[in-house]
Structure formats: C-alpha cells, structure tokens
C-alpha cells in the first residue's frame, strides 16, 4: 500500500463561514475525516502547514512546502497538497521549479465549495488527487481538479465558480481519473535529473500593458524590482510612442541590472515578437528573454527561481530560455 503525505494549507476546501465570509477553519485531520473513501486506498499522514486563504499565500509559503516535500521525500510515495484555488496555479508553477523532475507525484488540489457543503466538489477532488498520487506511473508536480491531472506549469484558473475551474493551457491534460481508474493521455513526460531548490526571489513585477499606459511605471520598477515581466499586446507588441519613453524605460531597467522578460497577455498560442515591428525592434535591440507560450504563472515562477541561480543578465537569459520539463515547447 502506498504511503502518502497530506500537506494542508487552508483554502475554500477547508473553509467555514464564520460570519464575515468563508475563511479556512479545518485542520488536516478534520479534512481527512470527511473522506472515508481513502481508507484502504493508501496509508496517509497529515500535516497542517497553514490555515490561509490562498489570496494570502506568498512565495515564501511555497518555498516551505517544497522544503517539507524534500525533507520527507524518501519517506513517502507521493504528496497531496490542499490549497486555495485562487493562487493554486502560481503555487503549482513555483513548486514545479523548486522540485524539478521529481519522480514522485506532488499533487495540488482544492475545491470551489467547502467540504462542509452537501454538493461540494471537495470530496471528489481530494479522493481523485490521492488516487492519482497512488498510481505507479504518477510523477511530477501536478494540479488535480474536476477529474483532470494538469502539468504544474500548464494549469490556469479560468472560471471563478464552476467546478471545472482549471484548464491546461496549450498542453494536453496529463491524465483523467474516471471510475476509480487513472487514464493517461501523456505518460513518462517527467525526464531529466531530479533537482531540489529552496529559494525564490519575490521581487518580480508583472506589468500588463494597456492602451496608452505611461512608461513611467518602468521607472518605478527600476527602483523596486529585481525583474520585470512585460505582458505585451498580442504576439509581442510594445508601444513605440513618439517620445521613445518605453525604449528609455527598458534601457533604465537594464542599466540598473533589472532583468526584463517579455510575455503576452493573450492566454493561448504564445508570443512571437519578431512578427511585427513593434516587437521586432525591441527584441533586436535589447535581446530580451521571451516567454513564448508559457503561462503567466509559469513565467512569474521561473523568473523568481532563475534570479536565485544566476548572477548576470546573460546567465539569467540562458536559464530562462532553457526548458524545464514542459514549460517551453519551442
């Protein structure tokens, strides 16, 4: 029988309405008592790491989760992490870079409705996450939700209320759990050497371009961030105003040693900066790392990780451009 460690962090799945809206209230052990279906499936140990709404989760929390997995990696066959849905995709992406190419499953799950509610999705998600974690072919950092197993760098919350809240962006669902069976669409996609990290740099600013945006926001970033992700228009368009303010803003960032990454704010199909002049001239002039079809969550997580393993802009660019698992599909 497989031995699985449950790490509970709070979220809707463990919430009750205490008079001012839902707030996490259940312990890890109380969660387990709600799913007797796990009896006979696996041996489970449980730890309550946090009792937080995921809105309040931060990179240091995900670092601690990674450290707990690493410390107990030899003792368990897999790990299930209950987490609020609002930042679960960020958590999964962060853990993907902190726990690279792990051969054991690290599965994040949660719920849209508290496990206390009669028609909650919590029990199905929790049981499904454990069932996947117990499968012999399970590996890597995954999100399990509404029957689907999603790669950690491909998950995105695309619905605020529906039970099918998460989508796999520009990458197939790894597997589904149906009728108590794990059915794979992709198997053996975790390759490369296992590598464990325990640091993220949270001083990353995401700048989503809007029509007419003042480039002065980049001056703020130059004083307050170690890296800036520019979410461009379309396939990579960055405004070319008559005063050249965006070019000067990028130059100011680079002169201060701030790393700059260009992504797209469009959900699917990725960037290609060279397509239009508004992207081509920026890419040719500054040779900025480009995120291509990575999700925003993965871009942020990879940037926070890459900052901690590099010390020059050139090294940062090389690390960011090197695929880790399935984050880049070029």
In whole angstroms, give the CA distance from residue 285 to residue 282: 5
* C-alpha to C-alpha distance for 144 and 56, rounded to whole angstroms: 21
Catalytically annotated residue among 9, 12, 85, 264? 12
Which CA distances in Å does 39 have to 1, 36, 130?
11, 6, 11
**Distance of alpha carbon 273 from alpha carbon 287, whole angstroms:** 11
List, in sequence order, every beta strand (DSSP E) within the chain: 3-10, 15-17, 22-24, 43-52, 78-82, 99-100, 105-109, 140-145, 148-151, 155-157, 166-168, 175-178, 181-184, 195-196, 204-208, 227-232, 259-264
Specify which residues 208 forms β-bridges with: 231
Residue 12 a catalytic site member: yes
Q: d(Cα 115, Cα 122) in Å, to the nearest integer?
A: 5
CB 110 within 8 A of CB 145: yes
Nearest to residue 92, comparing CAs of 145, 146, 152?
A: 152
Burial group, residue 174, by CB count within 10 angstroms (0-12, 13-18, 19+): buried
Alpha helix stretches (DSSP H) within 190-295: 216-224, 245-255, 277-286
Active-site residues, by number, are: 12
């Amino acid at each position: 029988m497989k031995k699985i460690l449950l790490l509970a962090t709070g979220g809707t799945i463990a919430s009750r309405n205490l008079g001012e809206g839902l707030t996490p209230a259940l312990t890890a052990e109380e969660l387990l008592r709600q799913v007797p279906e796990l009896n006979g499936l696996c041996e489970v140990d449980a730890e309550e790491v946090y009792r937080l709404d995921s809105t309040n989760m931060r990179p240091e929390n995900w670092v601690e989760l990674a450290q707990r997995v690493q410390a107990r990696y030899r003792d368990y066959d897999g790990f299930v992490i209950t987490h609020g849905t609002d930042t679960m995709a960020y958590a999964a992406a962060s853990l993907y870079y902190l726990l690279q190419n792990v051969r054991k499953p690290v599965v994040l799950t949660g719920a849209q409705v508290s496990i206390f509610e009669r028609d909650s999705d919590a029990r199905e998600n929790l049981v499904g996450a454990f069932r996947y974690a117990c499968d012999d072919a399970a590996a890597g950092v995954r999100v399990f939700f509404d029957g689907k197993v999603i790669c950690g760098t491909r998950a995105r919350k695309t619905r605020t209320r529906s039970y099918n809240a998460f989508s796999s962006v520009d990458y197939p669902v790894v597997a589904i759990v149906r009728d108590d069976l794990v059915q794979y669409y992709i198997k053996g996609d975790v390759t490369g050497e296992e590598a464990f990290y325990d640091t993220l740099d949270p001083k990353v600013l995401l700048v989503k371009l809007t029509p007419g945006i003042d480039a002065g926001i980049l001056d703020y970033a130059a004083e307050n961030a170690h890296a800036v992700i520019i979410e461009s228009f379309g396939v990579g368009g960055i405004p070319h105003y008559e005063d050249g303010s965006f070019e000067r803003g990028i130059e100011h960032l680079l002169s201060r040693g701030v790393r700059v990454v260009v992504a797209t704010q469009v959900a699917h199909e990725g960037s290609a900066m060279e397509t239009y002049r508004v992207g081509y001239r920026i890419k040719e002039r500054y040779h900025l790392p480009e995120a291509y079809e990575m999700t925003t969550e993965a871009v942020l997580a990879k940037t926070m990780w890459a900052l901690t393993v590099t010390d020059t802009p050139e090294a940062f660019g090389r690390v960011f451009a090197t695929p880790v698992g399935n984050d880049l599909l070029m």
